[in-house]
A and B are shown apart, each in its own frame.
Chain A
Amino acid sequence: MQVRVECCGVTARFAGAARVQMTLPEAATVRDLFALLSERSSEFAEVLARCACARGDAIVPRGTVLADGDELALLPPVAGG
């Protein structure tokens, strides 16, 4: 299955783009997605450990099972204001 991932904040630098398309096995979870992305570099893996994942307008835990066509976002630590 395929999911679209919006890379927010600093994660875009590690992913190399603001949006990436990822191919995952059926019944893959957010944890599986993060593991796949973490293979890109140890620095990215370190940032991902502190990233939340959003699906639509909700933050979802690592154990969430993904579906084909999901629109996800990587949310690194926040610093508004």
Chain B
Amino acid sequence: MFKHLTGDKWLSLTAVIAALLLIFVWVPLDIDTGLVEKVRRQIRLGDSLGPVTAGVVILLGGILTWMRPSADPQSLSVDNLKWMATLAVTIAVAFIVMRFAGPLITSLFTDTPYRALRATPPWNYIGYIAGGALLVATLISLARRKVSLSAALVGIIASLVFALLYDLPFDDLQLPPNGDV
């Protein structure tokens, strides 16, 4: 049934369904006041009006996209979805390394908890440089379609430079993940 639908028609359907869900499900369930409300005998605009307006705009956009699809429609391909998944995993792994590398390595070399060392070089750089270098090196390797030492070096140098850029001149700034630990 849906095989003949172009990318724009899919987008249109998605927008219309999302808009209807927003207007008729999300807004009534999650906002107490209506489109207008009466407060101390005065009528004023309620909190629902803005989101419902947004929903109507999305709905209208969906309908117009259905009626006037592009001659050369673009759509999300399976390859695009695979790339999004790859990207999400890469970033998630880099963030996890960034978050936990510092506390882990600190616990191996010292009895002082990481929280007490999160403003002390070199401990405060460990997570950021490990996660940042991993992120940069992985993306360069994906783009070049090969793993190389130069990609790793670029990652390490870039994250080291950014760490120093923020940490040396500004005492009150914290590198990731030091505000969270």
Q: Decide whether A and B are members of one complex.
A: no
Q: Taking beta carbons and an 8 Å cutoff, which residues of A are in contact with B?
A: none
Q: Taking beta carbons and an 8 Å cutoff, which residues of B are in contact with A?
A: none
